[in-house]
Structure formats: C-alpha cells, structure tokens
Amino acid sequence: MGDITAQCSQTFKRFVESSVAKNVPEAELKLINDKALNKLLKECINDAAAKAAEAQVFPKYCDKKTKKMTFDTFMGDFMLELAATMVQNKKKLTKRPDLNDADVVAMAEEMKKQIASKHDVQAKKMAVDAATARLTDTSKYTGSHKERFDESGKGKGISGREEEANTSGYVQGYKNEGTYEKNVKQ
C-alpha cells in the first residue's frame, strides 16, 4: 500500500506542477486545484470520474478559501467519496452507498492503482501552433496594446487599460503638489 501511495504522490505532484506557475513555493506544490484535479482524473481514470469529482465531491473536500485540496485529503476521504459516487452512478442507485461498503472500498483501491500506474507519465501539455504563438507574443504588439504589458510580457491589469487621472485634490496642471507643508513650516 505504501508503494501505491508514493506513486500516487508522484502523479499528484506532476499534475499540480503542470497547472501552476514555474516559481512557486514548495508548499503550493502540495495543493491541487480543481482544474489540475480534473485533468488528473480524466487522464488517469476516465471522464465520468472527473465529472463526478468536479460537480459533487471536490466542493465538499476543498478548502473553502483557496479552493484547493491536500494530497492527504485526496488519498483519504476524497477517494472514498468519489468511489461511492461512481458506484452510485454505475449501479443507478437512488441513495449513495456507505463509505465502508465493499464495492466502494474496492472501487477506491482500483482508482488509486490507476493513478499510481501513471506515476511515470508526463501530463499532456497544451499544443501551441504557430498562429497561437504569434498572436500571444506580446513583444510584437504595437500602439496602445503594447502599453498593457511590462517588459517580461506579463499583463499590467487595469493600469494598462485605462488612463488614470490624478485625483489628489489639486486643480489640473498644478505643478507644486506637496510643497505647501514645506512653505508653511518656514
């Protein structure tokens, strides 16, 4: 069982890494978001498991503020709850089976084995064709569009889209802002 857990941990970490930015702290690599979890379940198990997890199980076990889940929660309660949902859908039951039910435990172990078997497979990368690469290269933008990005190509947000007026309380064109206090003290 320990070997399966270690292999599941590798798979889990690989899918987390594929969904986050490159320079993140090690603590962030221990938390999976819904997008990465959905991708993991689709590639390792099947689409039905991914849909069941996204709609019914993930919201119940994720952290309410960060919308992320730890590996321990994933391997424990989450997998049992997902297995119960899968058994319910497969057998077309009106009521969800108990988490200690033999079919549920067997389904959870089978899903863990499927995830562990993918521990050495890389997560699929998004294919980028020439047109997409050309359109998303911010160094080739001209006019007002190039003002929306900094030198590294990262977007500036609202400050890149709108001209912000000076709303400090002085009249338009006033050049000596901040000098009143200096003049009064003398």
Which token pair is 102?
A: 């033999």
The per-residue pLDDT string of the chain (186 residues; one tens digit each, 9 = 90 and over) reads 568 888 888 888 888 887 776 666 777 778 888 888 888 888 888 888 888 888 888 888 888 888 889 888 888 888 888 888 888 888 888 888 888 888 888 988 998 888 888 877 665 565 667 877 777 777 787 877 777 777 777 777 777 667 777 666 667 777 777 777 777 765
Check: pTM over 0.85? Answer yes or no. Answer: no
Rounded distance between C-alpha atoms, residue 126 and residue 134, angstroms: 15
Domains and CATH numbers, the chain: 2-116 (1.10.238.10), 127-160 (no CATH)
Rounded distance between C-alpha atoms, residue 154 and residue 148, angstroms: 9
How far is the CA of 63 from the CAs of 5, 26, 107, 164, in angstroms?
A: 22, 18, 25, 37
